[in-house]
Structure 1
Amino acid sequence: MRGLTTGLAADTAHGAVVPPVYLSSNYAYEEFGQRPNFDYSRGGNPTRALLQDALATLEGGAGATVTASGMAAIGLVIETFVPIGGHVVAPHDCYGGTWRILDTWATRGRLSVDWVDQTDLDDLREALTRPTDLLLVETPSNPLLRVTDIAAAADIAHRSTPTPGRTVVAVDNTFCSPVLQHPLGLGADLAVASDTKFLNGHSDVVGGSVVAAGTEDAEALAYLANVTGVTASPVDCWLTLRGLRTLAARMRTHCDNARAMVEVLTGHRAVRAVHWPGLPDHPGHDLALRQQEDFGSLLSFELAGVEAVRAFMTGLEGFILAESLGGVESLVCHPATMTHAAMTQAARDAAGVTDAMIRMSPGIEPADDLAACLTEALDRAAAA
């Protein structure tokens, strides 16, 4: 894929195959009054510029801004496109951090937000009859793996709202990455990601990005990122750029391992439900077939209750109990007490995030080893 090799063998100083990391905070002016391409690293850095070019190419956008975290990327989108008192339509089952930032700003009067099941296009259409500045889509959703029709949602937002200006459509593409899904090609204005996850892929960076379909939006994001200072460090950008080199290969293995884990889960007596778009009976299965290149590697499943979850986690091997996802190592988490703990109980109930739910991010280890470890843990859960 174009973009995965951005910057390789492009060093003009020494011909280095791997581009160097530029740590300098500032850059010299060759003469008075002539601004160089880079002057201060908050606003522009050669290493960050390479990563931004790579991500814009991968997503098919006009430009990208790389931020210090995924939440910084979400915050930058809100600050750039939602005025004071503006309105946001967001998924009712989104990532807990996204829920928290929107709920916090709504509580403080910065904006208003409607939480909508975006898989129901009639509900989405109804929410967008109110003037809306930002439609935030997350597909597949976290952690229920619900699939939203990006093209239909973007069409509704762009054509059916009475907003005096425009409704910006931003899609969180973290779970799929541009290897599996192309929101801009489906009509979205922005593709947002936590670069911490699959894009970097090695759990040693915290970062985020926003890719804009149009030049004007790309410039607006870059301007405000410089103003607010939310841009990513050169080292984090270099590590993420390195991670991109193996993105396509890693995603294939991640997806293959997810299939293997789902096979174990669907055949075990301890499991009450499995949420993964690759299952034929998943409500979003047919849409995922059309919209994604593969079904992705994130999945969640439900056991009998909290005691079963505790038994599953106690002595668990092969999988690490930790926040985050998308790294080469296999992870599990308990959304209700970890990634979605910031949500109120009412919000978790509405989203379907239960205390018996576990989210899994299979890594790239041998599938047989992971399946054996998963079966042992499920056997303990069944006994509990």
Structure 2
Amino acid sequence: MKNLVVIGGGFAGFWSAISAVRQARFLDKDPLLKITIVSLDEYLSIRPRFYENKFEDMRIPLRKYFDPLGIVLNVGKVVRIDPKKKNVFWVGSKGQQEEVLSFDGLVLAAGSQLKCPFISGFEHAFNVDTFESAVRLDNHIRELSAASFPLPASRTFVVVGASFTGLEVITELPERVRSFALPGIDYNFILTDRSSSIASEYSIDGQGYIAEQLNKEGIHFLPEEETDLIEPERILFKSGRCIETSTVIWCGGLEASSLTKEFEAKRDPLDRLLVDSFLRIESHESFFAAGDVANGLVDEQHSSVMSCQHAIPQGKFAGHNAVNALFGKDLISYSQPRYVTCLDLGSRQALLTSGWDRMPQLTEMPAKILKTEIVTQWIIPASDVEETVKMSAPVIRTNEADLAC
């Protein structure tokens, strides 16, 4: 019996486990393989939607898929990994005694978390990095609404970080707060960033379109501002600027899980492991990494980014290759030459871009409709378990049907 352990129950971990089942069946090795996954909770969270305020369908029960397929789900946190002895040490969600999982093959898909800087009062900031954090923000806004946004600070919303997530958060806020239909209230929406330009990763045309939509929504962009202090009713910047606000939402970027440091392998500035074309971790024949913990080449020039666009296919390749490595079969190379993004920009706006220079391809309601399809259909497993198993086959996509979130 071979033991394959998958660490992480996000997009990459979920699809790694499902793909491993499919490939083990194909090789007629499923009776000889035990697949165990360690996840922080019992859900596949649709993280790209956490900036929204609709929480009913943002989490999918993992056991719906894992139990019928014989995948063992351990809910808890991995605290350390011993690659040499091939042991994973984890603690259950209720803080039980540390337990040990032995493995023959491993897929590290532990994901990423919000980069939390050393800023005084940072605990007063909100974020949308986890389901619980998104719900906390929503409850906060509802509490302000219940009090009719009584003070100027309660009517001012500041998002720190003009990243992809920051842009989606700030452009969703106007409709969100105005949906409470409280007459005679003027709100302030402010986006800040340390850089001098907004959405610097986009082409000039893309930046122009984004800036235009911010203006239409009445969102003010403050460039070259670095946060110095956050308090319950204000945010202070190193420039000396002070904004009275009850709501600071931090979107200051992500960093890979600290578990990447458990391996003697090269890492990039985001602490992602540098993997080979098969998604193998350096110097480990049967250890793989996928998703936000992996820096893999998607073509001859570009590395993967932290998004489900790359996490989902990487999971499918990693699970497939992990099984093949355990049973002495050839591995297949991962690549993903097509790169597109679809950025939500409010109630009736979105921006679809193509290529690494992010040139606009589709805007307004057609792009908004596409964005909705992506996050509610394209990145969601099939409701039927066996159909999901079929979907887990690793495929190199080169057309417009690529994921873009």
Q: Same fold (TM over 0.5)?
A: no
TM-score normalized by the length of structure 2 = 0.29
Q: Which has the higher strand share?
A: 2
